[in-house]
Structure 1
Amino acid sequence: MNFKEIIYETEGHMAIITLNRPKRMNTLTKMLEGELYEAMRAADLDENVRAIILTGQGRAFCAGMDMDELEVLPPDDISAREWMRPYDMNRRADYQTRYSYFPGLTKPVISAINGAAAGLGLIFALYSDFRIASSNAAFATAFVKRGLVAEHGIAFILPRVVGHANAIDMLLTSRKIKADEAREINLVHRLVAPDALMDEARALANCLSQEVSPRSVRVMKRQIWEVPFQSLGEAITRANEEMFLSIQSEDFTEGVAHFQEKRPPQFTGR
């Protein structure tokens, strides 16, 4: 795959996607947006990949939309035909929109947040399954300072991550949230030194790839992201259906076998 504004690499069972516009703080262009989607889709379809790491080159994760493009953006861009995709009827439509598609991927997404994450950069982090941040990271919603609104479902996802009070604060003031505060309000899962960020992300990706069942991870990810739309009874019914399938899987057989034989697991994801 030949990309111009991202770097796509694979290591073992992980894919590493790096936003690569460091001189512009990895701000989003139409090209970068399209390449990111194609890279995420490629990683999700690659049977050898079991976890995806998203990070940024240089001092920023993603500082939002490139202002040069935002200045000339037509009002109807958000619904332009080029961004419309056929829906996969096996996944929730909620997680197939232009920016909310990370939860619809079957592989866990780890955002390794190396610096500024603002606007759409924050949204990418919020729709990831894990957020590991460098102590240099900083966060802002940004929209209210541009005369915009709570875009792309952030009014739905942000309160579920940081709570209603913190979400109101972040959205209506757009103040900068530094790394320490981000950890305090559970905006990020882990906070590490800058030079340890990618090692920490790789260690988590390796855990998800080798130490636990990829099949279980795949099913649990879907359960977790679908549960906001379900009642308790619906969640239990769905879990019972998945339990019936899981005990017939190769990974269940291996999960019991490696425990009894006291050896490392050799999960297939099936």
Structure 2
Amino acid sequence: MISRRLTRIGYFIILLFLIFWAIAELFPIVFLYLTAMKTDEEIMNNILLPPQRPSFRNFVLAWRGGNLGVPISRYFLNSVIVTGGTLFFLTFLGAMAGYGLSRFLFPGKSFFQKFLIFALAVPAHATLIPVFHFLGRFGLRNNYLGLIFVYTAFWLPFTILMLYSYFGSFPRELEDAARIDGLSELGTFFRVVVPVSKGALSSVSIVNFVGIWSELLFAFLIMNREKMKTITVGVLSFRGQYEVQWSFMFATMAIAALPTIIFFLIFQKQITKGMLLGSFR
């Protein structure tokens, strides 16, 4: 009896902890969207109180640009282009490199693996100045390709290592059967390995999406022309020299967070799988 009571008490404590943790995680999201439905006066008077008359008007006006004429819809499109282009390169290059590392022996393979781990340890923001000058020299500032190349370079080591771990556990019997049927190495990879690995590829892509979509510092530094800014940088456009449009700023942050929230709700199982890909080897 005593042991059962202790077990129930333990479950109850764990449940309370999980409830508290869920509230702590959800509070910033709820606070963001409630604040985005307020007027500037309500935000300035007491930001913690809920809106008196919740309205989606701020979202519509922020999307159109607000009183400052800022094209938030264009910023959103820029983020879609940059994120989509980066995910394409990451998936294509990461899959081929991860598969090659797991299947073939070549000179310098061990060094390349250690280099990938070293690349993960280098703080990306420590390279801001060299990257800025490098892109300027080749005319890639305020250019989609410039930011796409930067994101690809910094997220590629993680992608390769995760897919390397996955392909290490991939059944070789499928590849052997494809080779017996006359497929080349590339044919085996693209016609057998890739279709079977869609789950792993989508998992890594979703994990990368969250980081790329919300990145601010490189986007702020590289895409400083008004029409080339991403949505995360666009939030700062409502902060003028003498005026801050708080309602539009919160509405823009809510719009910027919406794709990440939707992706997480839809693909939460794939995100969990993506986090665990590196533990198979």
Indicate the structure whose relative CO is greater, using CA pairs within 8 Å and at least 6 residues apart.
Answer: 2
Considering fraction of residues, name the structure with more strand: 1
Structure having the higher helix fraction is 2
> Structure 2-normalised TM-score?
0.22
**TM-score normalised over the length of structure 1:** 0.23
Larger radius of gyration: 2
